[in-house]
């Protein structure tokens, strides 16, 4: 019996290579789809936890002994309440875009009785209120109370914009960077987004925190699974077409 011709052997080798490569690609795409399903489950659990924290009664924010163990999953958006004295002379303006327009977040150190300092995002001011003298009534003296949401530090700046401490330009609420630039003492590795309790004179405006987590995982999962089916269909079509061609050749 004659051995298969070289062209036939090459054709079979190419067909086998296409099949193996296609099946590997199908497995990879299906794995990505399954990963997105798991991510969706995790995201929904995170959203539920955060919503519970936002609606909970306020608690005292974590002290120095707990600072090293803070995580986004466990601590972000925890509702907290504390008291202290604002260091109005050390406030920092961070560029912001809000429902009220473009302007700045006003971050002011709050010195507490235990000697620690927490940066407080007291709220938003427009460009014409960036100068503290334009909102003098809001420069609170004496002991003050703050209620709001615990937010973890935002190091590094914003998209395509790095913080420039030497120039006083801030695009993110980088706690460590602001503390170093302002010469503050022991500072918590988080800040507090103040709630909507009105400040004297109306500025800054608090309570503008947006609690939102993108949830596109189902769309991504469907996309990966559809791509896997398309590749599987292409491999199947290639095998069937090759078999038909072999039959026509042998006929």
Q: What is the mean pLDDT of the chain?
A: 92
Q: pLDDT digit string (tens) for 39-73? A: 999 999 989 999 999 999 999 999 999 999 999 88
Q: pLDDT digit string (tens) for 215-235? A: 999 999 999 999 999 999 999
Angle, alpha carbons 142-108-180 (nearest 5°): 125
pLDDT at 152 over 70: yes
Contacts of 227 (CB under 8 A, 6+ apart): 29
| pTM of this prediction exceeds 0.85 | no
Q: Are 189 and 153 in contact (CB under 8 A)?
A: yes
Q: Are 129 and 148 in contact (CB under 8 A)?
A: no
* pLDDT value of position 46: 87
* pLDDT value of position 11: 81
Q: Are 204 and 138 in contact (CB under 8 A)?
A: yes
Report the 10 Å Cβ neighbour count for 52. Answer: 11
Number of Cα atoms under 13 Å in the Cβ half of residue 156: 5
In the predicted model, what is the mean pLDDT of residues 172-190? 94
* pLDDT value of position 237: 92
148 phi and psi, to 5 degrees? Answer: 180, -160
User: 3-state SS string over the chain?
Assistant: CCCCCHHHHHHHHHHHHHHHHHHHHHHHHHHHHHHHHHHHHHHHHHHHHHHHHHHCCCECCCCHHHHHHCCHHHHCCCEEEEEEEECHHHCEEEEEEECCEEEEEEEEEEECCCCCEEEEEEEEEEHHHCCHHHHHHHCCCCEEEEEEEEEECCCCCECCECCEHHHCECCCCCHHHHHHHHCCCCEEEEEEEECCCCCHHHCCECCCCCCCCCCCHHHHHHHHHHHHHHHHHHHHHHHHHHHHHHHHHHC
């Amino acid at each position: 019996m004659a051995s298969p011709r070289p062209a036939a052997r090459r054709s079979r080798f190419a067909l086998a290579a296409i099949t193996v490569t296609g099946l590997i690609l199908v497995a990879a795409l299906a794995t990505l789809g399954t990963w997105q399903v798991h991510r969706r489950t995790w995201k929904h659990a995170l959203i539920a936890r955060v919503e519970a924290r936002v609606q909970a009664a306020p608690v005292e924010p974590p002290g120095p002994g707990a600072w090293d163990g803070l995580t986004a999953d466990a601590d972000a958006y925890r509702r907290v309440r504390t008291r202290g004295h604002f260091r109005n002379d050390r406030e920092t303006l961070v560029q912001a875009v809000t429902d009220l327009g473009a302007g700045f977040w006003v971050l002011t150190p709050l010195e507490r009785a235990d000697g620690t300092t927490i940066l407080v995002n007291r709220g938003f001011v427009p460009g014409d209120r960036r100068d503290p003298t334009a909102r003098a009534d809001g420069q609170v003296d004496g002991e003050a109370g703050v209620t709001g949401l615990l937010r973890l530090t935002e190091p590094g700046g914003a998209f395509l914009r790095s913080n420039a401490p030497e120039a006083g330009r801030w695009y993110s609420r980088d706690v460590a960077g602001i503390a170093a630039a302002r010469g503050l003492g022991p500072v918590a590795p988080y800040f507090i987004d103040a709630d909507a309790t009105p400040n004297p004179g109306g500025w800054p405006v608090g309570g503008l925190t947006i609690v939102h987590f993108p949830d596109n995982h189902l769309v991504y999962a469907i996309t990966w699974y559809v791509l896997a089916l398309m590749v599987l269909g292409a491999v199947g079509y290639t095998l069937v077409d090759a078999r038909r061609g072999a039959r026509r050749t042998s006929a």
